Amino acid sequence: MSNEVRISAQAAKGPSLFRRLTASHGFMAVASPIVLLLLWEVAAQARLLDPRFFPAPSSVLGELVTLTLSGELPINLGWTVQRVLIGFVCGAVPAILLGLVMGLSPLLNALLRPTIAAIYPIPKIALFPLIMLIFGLGETSKWVIVGIAVFFQVFFSTLAGVVNIEHIYLDVATNFGASRWQAYRTVALPAALPFIFTGCQLGLGMALIVVVVAEQFGTKLGLGFMIWRSWQIFEVRDMFVALIVVALLGYGSQLAMLALERRLVQWKPKSGSQEVKT
Amino acid sequence: MKLARRAALAAMLGAFSFGAQAADTVKVSVYQSVSDAGIYIANDKGYFKEQGIEIDVVQLDSVSSVVTALASGQIDVAGGAPSAAIYNSVRQGIGIRIVADKGSMRKGGGYICLVVRKGLEDQIKSVADLKGRKVAWSGTGIGTTNEPALDHMLKQANLRDSDLLLQNLTFGDSLAALASGSVDAAYLIEPLAQSAEQKGIGKLFMTGDQMYLDQQVAVLLYGANFAAKKPDVAKRFMVAYLKGVRDYNDAFVKNKDRAAIVSILTKNTTVKAAALYDKMVMPGLNPDGAVNIAGMTDDMKWFQSKGYLKEPVDVAKAVNMSFVDAAIKQLGQY
C-alpha cells in the first residue's frame, strides 16, 4: 500500500522544470537568442571581444533607443520597408501569373523555362549596375532589383505547385466544363497556394538581402545605407543597430507571411507551416 | 696569439651577423594612387632598404578597412583621408595616429577637380551657375573630405548642397555619368579630370586648391602598436618616406630627374600613361611632411555639425609629428 502512495506521488511530480522548458519549442525559440546575447554581453564586458569592433548588446540597445527617438532609425526603416514592399509586389505578381500559366501550358513551359533557368543562377546584385544604367539612380532601380530577386523564388515555387497538382483535379474540372480561366482560379491557384507562400517567404528574405546592398548606391536613406555609412564613418554601434533591425525585419516579415498563409490556406496541415518556418 | 685569433674570428662573426640581420618588415597599405608617390619612390630608389626596412604592400579599399587593419595590427602604416572614420576611431580609443602629410590641396596641387560637361561651359561659368544642376560628387553622405571641399566651393556663391542635385557616385562612375550626359558636372580625381578633357567629355571648371586651399585630403597613418612598440623602425620609415616625397617634389616642382620618377609612378600607380603626368594636376605632397591641423580641425567640426561625429575630437591629439620631427632633424628642412 505504501508503495502505491510513493508511485502516485512521483507521477504527480512529473518531469523537471528544466525538461519541461527545453521541451517547449516556444521557450527555446526565445531563449536561444537571449543566451547568445548574454554570452556576447559577458564576452564584451570581460574584454574577450574588443568592444570597439563588437560593442556589447547593452550599448547597442542604448544606441537603438537614441536612434529611434531621434527619428533616424524609423525614417531609414520606413524607406527600406517601402522599397521591399513595392519590389516584392513587382516581382511576386508576375511570378505567380507566369508560374500558373507555364504550369498548365507544356508548350509555354518548354519555350520559356530554359531561359528563366539560365538567368536564375546569376547573382541578382551583379545586375544592379546594369539596372541603374537602364532605370537610373532613383527608386525605380531599387524596386526593379528587389522585384527580380523575388520573381525567381516565387516563380519556381508556383511552377512546382502547379506541376505537382494531381491530374485528376484538372480532369474533373475539364469534365465539368470549366473554362481555362476557371481551371486557373479554382484548381491551379488554390492547389499551388502553399507553394506560392513558401516562395513568397523565400522571396521576402531575398528581397531584404538585395535591398540592403542596393541601398548602398545612389541613396542616403534606408537601412542598407545606414549600415554602409556607419561602417564608412567607423560608427560601429550604429552599424550593429541597423543589422539587428534588418534581422528583426526579416523575422517579422516571415511571421507575417505565415499568419497570412494560415488565414488563406486553411486546408494546409500545420506541419507544413512548421517546415516552412525552419 | 690564440686569443687574438679568437677575438678576430669573433669580430668577423659579429660583423657577419650584423650584415646578415634581417630587415624590419613594415606592412603598408596603399591605394595605388599618385599621392602614394612617397612610398613608391622610397621603395624603388632603395630608401627603405637603406634604413633597414622592407615593405610589404597591402591594398585596402576604404578608410574603415584601413582603421580596422591598423587597429588589429594587420598593417603598420597606411595612407588614408582624414575623414570622419579616422576621427571616430580616435574618439573610440583606437590608437591610430596621423603622422605625416600624404596629399593636400596646396596651391597648384589641387588634384581633385570639378569638371563641367562639354557644351555647358558657356552656361556654367561660375559656382552660382551650378544651382539646380545635376552634379556627381563622390563620397557624399559618408563623412569624406570631399564633403567639406564641396561646402567650401558652394560658400563662394552662398549656395548650399541642397541647391544642387547631387549624385553620390564613385569617381569612375562620375566620369561615365558625365560622358553619358546624366550629370552636368562631376568632381573627379586626377587623372580622370584630365582624361575627361582629353576625350572631349568635359572641361576643367575648378581645381581642388581653388575650392579649398591647403585642405588636407590624405595623411600617413601609423598603427598604435607600430608607433609604440617599434618607434625606431617608425622613425626610419619616416626618413625614407620623406626622401621619397622630396624626390617627387624635385621632379614635379623643380623638374629634376622627372623621367625616372614618372617611370616609378607609371609602374606602381593606376596612372600608367607617362604622357598624363605632363598634363594632369599633380597631388601636393609636403616635402617636410607637415599637416594642416587647423584645416583638419575645421573639417572635424564640419563632420560633427553634419552628424558624422557624435562628439568633437581634439585633432592635435590625433596627430603625432614626432616621427617627422626626428626625420627632419636627420634630413634638414627641404
Rg of chain A over Cα atoms, rounded to whole angstroms, equals 24
Domain ranges of chain B: 22-106+215-331, 112-206
> Which chain B residue has the Cα nearest residue A219?
B168
Q: Which residues of B touch A233 (CB under 8 A)?
A: 64, 83-85, 88, 142-143, 308-309
Q: Which residues of A touch B69 (CB under 8 A)?
A: none
Residue with cell 502512495: A5
Higher pLDDT, A92 or A176: A92
Q: Which residues of B touch A229 (CB under 8 A)?
A: 141-143
Query: Cβ–Cβ of A234/B141 closer than 8 Å?
Result: no
Averaged pLDDT for residues B169-183: 87
Q: Quote the pLDDT of residue A270.
A: 61
Buried b (16+ CB within 10 A) or exposed e, B110-126: bbbbbbbbbebeeebee
Higher pLDDT, B21 or A18: A18
Q: Which residues of A touch B63 (CB under 8 A)?
A: 232, 234
Q: Quote the pLDDT of residue A1.
A: 43
Is residue B33's pLDDT more than 60?
yes
Q: What is the DSSP letter of A94?
A: H
Q: Which residues of A touch B88 (CB under 8 A)?
A: 233-235
Q: Quote the pLDDT of residue A271.
A: 52
Pick A232's closest partner by Cβ from B62, B169, B182: B62
Residue with cell 525552419: A278
Residue B71 has φ and ψ, to the nearest 5°, of -65, -35
Rounded percentage of chain A residues whose pLDDT exceeds 70: 90
Average pLDDT, chain A: 85
Find the length of chain B.
334
Distance from CA of B93 to the nearest CA of A (A): 8
Cell of B229: 612598440
| Edge-to-edge strand ranges of the sheet holding B77-80 | B53-59, B24-30, B77-80, B216-222, B97-104
Q: Which residues of A touch B84 (CB under 8 A)?
A: 232-234
Q: Tell me, yes or no, if B143 comes closer than 8 A to chain A by beta carbon.
A: yes
> Which chain B residue has the Cα nearest residue A215?
B168
Is residue B208's pLDDT more than 80?
yes
Report the CATH number of the A57-277 domain: 1.10.3720.10
Averaged pLDDT for residues A62-85: 95
Cell of A25: 519549442
Task: Give the model confidence (pLDDT) of B295-312 as tens digits.
Answer: 999 999 999 999 999 899
CA angle A262, A263, A269 (to 5 degrees): 35
Number of inter-chain CB pairs under 8 A, A vs B: 53
CA distance B236 to A208: 50
Higher pLDDT, A88 or A264: A88
Pick B93's closest partner by Cβ from A52, A231, A233: A52
Q: Quote the pLDDT of residue B21.
A: 61
Is residue A197's pLDDT more than 80?
yes
Q: Which residues of A touch B67 (CB under 8 A)?
A: 234
Distance from CA of A54 to the nearest CA of B (A): 12
Is residue A9's pLDDT more than 70?
no
- Confidence grade of residue B182 (pLDDT, cut at 50, 70, 90): confident
Is residue A8's pLDDT more than 90?
no
Q: Tell me, yes or no, if B169 comes closer than 8 A to chain A by beta carbon.
A: yes
Pick B85's closest partner by Cβ from A136, A220, A233: A233
**8 A C-beta contact, residue A96 and residue A151:** no
Neighbours of B157 (CB within 10 A): 13
Q: Tell me, yes or no, if B62 comes closer than 8 A to chain A by beta carbon.
A: yes
**Closest to A52 in 3D by CA, of B313, B194, B213, B85:** B85
Pick B141's closest partner by Cβ from A53, A229, A235: A229
Neighbours of B89 (CB within 10 A): 27
Q: Tell me, yes or no, if A229 comes closer than 8 A to chain B by beta carbon.
A: yes
Q: Which residues of B touch A232 (CB under 8 A)?
A: 62-64, 83-85, 142-144
Show which of residues 269-328 on chain B sit within 8 Å of chain A, judged by CB atoms: 308-310
In CATH, the architecture of B22-106+215-331 is 3-Layer(aba) Sandwich (3.40)
**CA A185 to the chain's CA centroid:** 26
Is residue B15's pLDDT more than 50?
no
**Closest to B227 in 3D by CA, of B236, B218, B240:** B236
CA distance A28 to A30: 5
Q: Which residues of B touch A225 (CB under 8 A)?
A: 141
Distance from CA of A223 to the nearest CA of B (A): 14
Q: Quote the pLDDT of residue A12.
A: 55
| Edge-to-edge strand ranges of the sheet holding B134-136 | B165-167, B134-136, B185-189, B112-117, B202-206
CA distance B232 to B322: 12
CA distance B140 to A95: 37
Q: Which residues does residue B53 pair with via DSSP β-bridges, in sequence order?
A: B24
Pick B84's closest partner by Cβ from A137, A225, A233: A233
Query: Cβ–Cβ of A232/B167 closer than 8 Å?
Result: no
Q: Quote the pLDDT of residue B6.
A: 53
Report the CATH number of the B112-206 domain: 3.40.190.10
**CA A272 to the chain's CA centroid:** 16
Q: Which residues of B touch A235 (CB under 8 A)?
A: 88, 308, 310
Neighbours of A185 (CB within 10 A): 13
Would you call A69 exposed, middle or buried from its count of C-beta atoms within 10 A (0-12, 13-18, 19+)?
exposed
Averaged pLDDT for residues A211-224: 89
CA angle B1, B6, B8 (to 5 degrees): 95
Query: Cβ–Cβ of A52/B92 closer than 8 Å?
Result: yes
Q: Which residues of B touch A231 (CB under 8 A)?
A: 62, 64
- Confidence grade of residue B26 (pLDDT, cut at 50, 70, 90): very high
Q: Quote the pLDDT of residue B5.
A: 55
Q: Tell me, yes or no, if A130 comes closer than 8 A to chain B by beta carbon.
A: no
**8 A C-beta contact, residue B185 and residue B126:** no
**8 A C-beta contact, residue A196 and residue A157:** yes
- Confidence grade of residue B163 (pLDDT, cut at 50, 70, 90): very high
What is A36-80 written as a DSSP string?
HHHHHHHHHHTTSS-TTTS--HHHHHHHHHHHHHHTHHHHHHHHH
Mean pLDDT is lowest, of A123-137, B68-82, B177-191, for A123-137
Domain ranges of chain A: 16-49, 57-277
Query: Cβ–Cβ of A234/B89 closer than 8 Å?
Result: yes
Query: Cβ–Cβ of A233/B142 closer than 8 Å?
Result: yes
Q: Quote the pLDDT of residue A246.
A: 95
Q: Quote the pLDDT of residue B198.
A: 87
Query: Cβ–Cβ of A53/B143 closer than 8 Å?
Result: no
Indicate if B112-206 has the same CATH topology as B22-106+215-331. yes
Q: Which residues of A touch B85 (CB under 8 A)?
A: 232-234
**Closest to B219 in 3D by CA, of B282, B292, B294, B298:** B292
Which helix or strand (DSSP H or E) is residue A22 part of? helix A17-23
Rounded percentage of chain B residues whose pLDDT exceeds 90: 60
Mean pLDDT is lowest, of A197-211, B3-17, B129-143, for B3-17
Q: Tell me, yes or no, if A225 comes closer than 8 A to chain B by beta carbon.
A: yes
What is B87-127 written as a DSSP string?
HHHHHTT---EEEEEEEE--TT---EEEEEETT-TTT--SG
Find the length of chain A.
278
Query: Cβ–Cβ of A235/B310 closer than 8 Å?
Result: yes
First to last CA, chain A: 50
Task: Give the model confidence (pLDDT) of A230-262 as tens digits.
Answer: 988 888 899 999 999 999 999 999 989 988 988
Q: Tell me, yes or no, if B94 comes closer than 8 A to chain A by beta carbon.
A: yes
**8 A C-beta contact, residue B217 and residue B105:** yes
Task: Give the model confidence (pLDDT) of B254-297 as tens digits.
Answer: 999 999 999 999 999 888 888 889 888 899 999 999 999 999 99
